[in-house]
Amino acid sequence: MKLTILGCHSATPTVSAHPTAQVLEIKGHLFLIDCGEGTQVQLRKYKIKFSRIRRIFISHLHGDHFFGLVGLISTFRLMGRNAELHVYGPKGIKEAILLFLKLGKSYTNYPLYFHELDTTIPELIFEDDKVSVETIPLEHRVYTNGFLFREKPADRTLNVDAARAANVDLSYYNKIKQGFDVENKEGKIIPNKEITFDPPAPKSYAYCSDTAYHPQMVDQVTEVDVMYHESTFLEEHHHLAEKTKHSTAKEAAAIAKKAKIKTLILGHYSGRYGNLEFFRNEAQEVFLGKIELAEDGKRFDFSKK
Amino acid sequence: MKLTILGCHSATPTVSAHPTAQVLEIKGHLFLIDCGEGTQVQLRKYKIKFSRIRRIFISHLHGDHFFGLVGLISTFRLMGRNAELHVYGPKGIKEAILLFLKLGKSYTNYPLYFHELDTTIPELIFEDDKVSVETIPLEHRVYTNGFLFREKPADRTLNVDAARAANVDLSYYNKIKQGFDVENKEGKIIPNKEITFDPPAPKSYAYCSDTAYHPQMVDQVTEVDVMYHESTFLEEHHHLAEKTKHSTAKEAAAIAKKAKIKTLILGHYSGRYGNLEFFRNEAQEVFLGKIELAEDGKRFDFSKK
């Protein structure tokens, strides 16, 4: 599981501060999460292959999370894309994107599917044999969802030497990997654990932006490996966070603590602060797990334990 | 009259090739012409004061000329703008922009006016005592206008020494500047030309993008000082220009020649060509006036003769 931050700043884009977008690589999928203006250029800059993006998840319809989407969809067309594209986002997103495409007489020549969201309870929105994605309802000025990405448990790994020593017929390979006990050539039941290794623990990633302090999400994200939680403000501007329905670094940390998260990534910084370390300092007074600061272009590799 | 090219490349934006947008400074106005994705960042990069932009002219509703507009309008709001903003563009532009703002519950708190265009003959769309702006109907895959910006003749400049020598009462100052002959203190009519200098000749700028070869525009732009004419392709790809309703550098030059333009600026380059000098070389085989190549960030000063 790898995460590339394309942009992690709030509100207006500048030359050096890009609005929200990130790419999660998980079990062979490349998921684009949010798509602020300029995301397609950031994708190019960080050499992410456009054709590998098949699913885009939009948290809410504020410009800094969404205004790059229509340009990216158009660029896919100009690049001669054939592959399906699935867009998950709040109700209304389809009408808006299609209106822009219609005005430019630029309908896509690849299959484009919209999955519009409007529930306020967690909803499973994508699933295959390797991963699942569900919404995390958040609290913001407009209808907003975070997204919870979970790997499914992988197959067990065959311990070839142990299986041979136990005289197991390796034509049972698939059953063994799936965790079944099997009979050996003498008809004796061999417990699966004796001839396999545990697979890597499945990873999980919760993306939570934008949101006010919202402890209602804690149950859903408990013991998630990695959580990105917005921290637009520091506590000194708590009144602004309340007014605009954003979080402070301390509040993000409080969620991470309650949910027993392993790694907390902070981002969606207001432009008013000179030094991002302020966010880390404030968060680590509350949360004792690992804290990372999102930065445009930063890549995290969570594949290793 | 000064022109700043913010972007001059066709189709998809990249790190180093920005889609179309330019700023024309003319008689105190700062006009933004077209607004591809990322224009607001380019405005910041080239230190153009956002609050001075009061009028935006959109040629057509293809993404590379238009997808930056909603973000710029939103950013104006976040910056606390009060001044009116006027947007001139094809019919449909208002509905599209307002839909995006509505979805984000982000209506502007400054007065925003849309002037929707749908005529196919030249139309005067803005005028004050210093400049006029009219549409230049173009030929493209969607409804498209260029724009013709003209300075109005300035007042004549008083020749103080000559006026005193001719014994003219300088309380006539305003009448003299306006070109009237006046009586001197002895009651003799003094011809205006004897006591004034010619003002600088009024300048004009024609913006023509995107368009197929379209000689119907020639009458309207004849003897304009500066013309930006798209040259997406070179002649070797004439078939692509025809198919996509764009122009080659040679065709742009042919328009400039027929219209007796003083300075031709080429731009809207396809990304397929390694060297922009190819465009100049092709154009100067046809057009003997001055040829400039647009480049992102380039500034032209046409104030001097």
If you count them, how many residues does chain B have? 305
Interchain contact B305–A (C-beta under 8 A):
no
- What is the interface size between A and B, counted as CB pairs within 8 Å? 104
Is residue B153 within 8 A of residue B199, CB to CB? The reply is yes
CA distance A229 to A60: 15
B73 and B211 in a single domain? The answer is yes
Q: Are residues B170 and B278 in the same domain?
A: no
Same-domain pairing of B58 and B175: no
On whether the CB atoms of residues A20 and A207 are closer than 8 A, the answer is no
A98 and chain B in contact, CB less than 8 A: no
Instruction: Give all strands of the β-sheet with B226-230 in edge-to-edge order.
Output: B124-127, B131-137, B145-151, B204-208, B226-230, B263-267, B290-293
Q: Cβ of B206: how many Cβ atoms within 10 Å?
A: 27
Q: Which residues contact A54 (CB under 8 A, 6 or more apart)?
A: A29, A30, A83, A84, A85, A86
CA B280 – CA B119 distance, rounded (Å):
33
> Does B44 reach chain A within 8 Å, measured CB to CB?
yes
Domain boundary among A197, A225, A255: A197
Q: Please indicate, yes or no, whether residues A297 and A216 belong to a single structural domain of this protein.
A: yes
How close does chain B come to A14, measured CA to CA in Å? 5
Interface-testing mutation among B34, B35, B41, B118, with chain A (most A C-beta atoms within 10 A): B41
Residues A134, A217 within the same domain: yes
Amino acid, res. A100: F
Interchain CB distance below 8 Å, A95 and B99: yes
Q: What is the pLDDT of residue B303?
A: 86
What is the span of the domain harbouring residue A193?
157-197
User: Given this model, what pLDDT does residue B240 score?
Assistant: 97
Residue B295 neighbours by CB distance under 10 Å: 14
- What are the beta bridge partners of residue A226? A205, A263
Q: Are strands A112-117 and A85-90 parallel, antiparallel or unpaired?
A: parallel
Q: Tell me which chain B residues have a C-beta less than 8 angstroms from the C-beta of A104.
A: 60-63, 66, 142
Are A186 and A241 in a shared domain? no
The response to whether A214 counts as a known ligand-binding position is: no
Strand order in the sheet with B112-117: B112-117, B85-90, B53-57, B29-33, B21-26, B2-7, B299-301
- Asked if B79 is an interface residue toward chain A (Cβ–Cβ < 8 A), one would say yes
Beta bridge partners of B291: B264
Q: Which of A20, A42, A62, A67 to mutate to test the interface with B (most CBs of B within 10 A)?
A: A67
- Partners of A204 in the β-ladder: A150
Q: What is the pLDDT along chain B (305 residues), one digit of tens a residue?
A: 999 999 999 988 989 999 999 999 999 999 999 999 999 999 999 999 999 999 999 999 999 999 999 999 999 999 999 999 999 999 999 999 999 999 999 989 999 999 999 999 999 999 999 999 999 999 999 999 999 999 999 899 999 999 999 999 888 888 999 999 999 999 999 999 999 999 989 999 999 999 999 999 999 999 999 999 999 999 999 999 999 999 999 999 999 999 999 999 999 999 999 899 999 999 999 999 999 999 999 999 998 75
Same domain flag for A126 and A42: yes
The domain spanning residue A70 has which CATH number?
3.60.15.10
B121 and B107, same structural domain? yes
Are A96 and B99 an interchain contact pair (Cβ–Cβ within 8 Å)? yes
- Residue that is last in its domain, among A171, A197, A223: A197
Same domain, A98 and A172: no
A98 to chain B: closest CA residue: B96
Q: How many domains does chain B have?
A: 2
Q: Which residues of chain A have pLDDT under 70?
A: 305
Distance, in angstroms, between A206 CA and closest chain B CA? 23
Burial class of B98 by CB neighbour count within 10 A (0 to 12, 13 to 18, 19+)? middle
Residue B292 is predicted with a pLDDT of 98
State whether A98 and A174 are in the same domain: no
Q: Are residues B185 and B216 in the same domain?
A: no
A92 neighbourhood in chain B, CB within 8 Å:
103
Say if residue B262 is in the same domain as residue B145. yes
Cβ atoms within 10 Å, residue B254: 19
* Closest Cβ–Cβ partner in B37, B63, B100 for A38: B37
Among B residues 101-140, those touching chain A with beta carbons less than 8 Å apart:
103-106
Verify whether residue B219 is a known catalytic residue: no
Residues in chain A: 305
Which of A197, A219, A253 is the C-terminal boundary of a domain? Answer: A197
**Could you tell me how far CA A56 lies from the centroid of its own chain?**
10
A61 interfacial to chain B (CB closer than 8 Å): yes
Q: Are B288 and B281 in contact (CB under 8 A)?
A: no
Residue of A nearest to B44 (CA): A14
Q: Would an 8 Å CB–CB cutoff place B189 in contact with chain A?
A: no
* DSSP code at position B153: P
Question: Looking at the complex, does the CB of residue A143 fall below 8 Å from at least one CB of chain B?
Answer: no
**HEC sequence for chain A:** CEEEEEECECCCCCCCCCECEEEEEECCEEEEECCCCCHHHHHHHCCCCHHHEEEEECCCCCHHHHCCHHHHHHHHHHCCCCCCEEEEEECCHHHHHHHHHHHCCCCCCCCEEEEEECCCCCCEEEECCCEEEEEEECCCCCCCEEEEEEECCCCCEECHHHHHHCCCCHHHHHHHHCCCCEECCCCCEECHHHCEECCCCCCEEEEECCCCCCHHHHHHHCCCCEEEEECCECHHHHHHHHHHCCCEHHHHHHHHHHCCCCEEEEECECCCCCCCHHHHHHHHCCCCCEEEECCCCCEEECCCC
Interface test with B, best of A9, A12, A70 (most B CBs within 10 A): A12
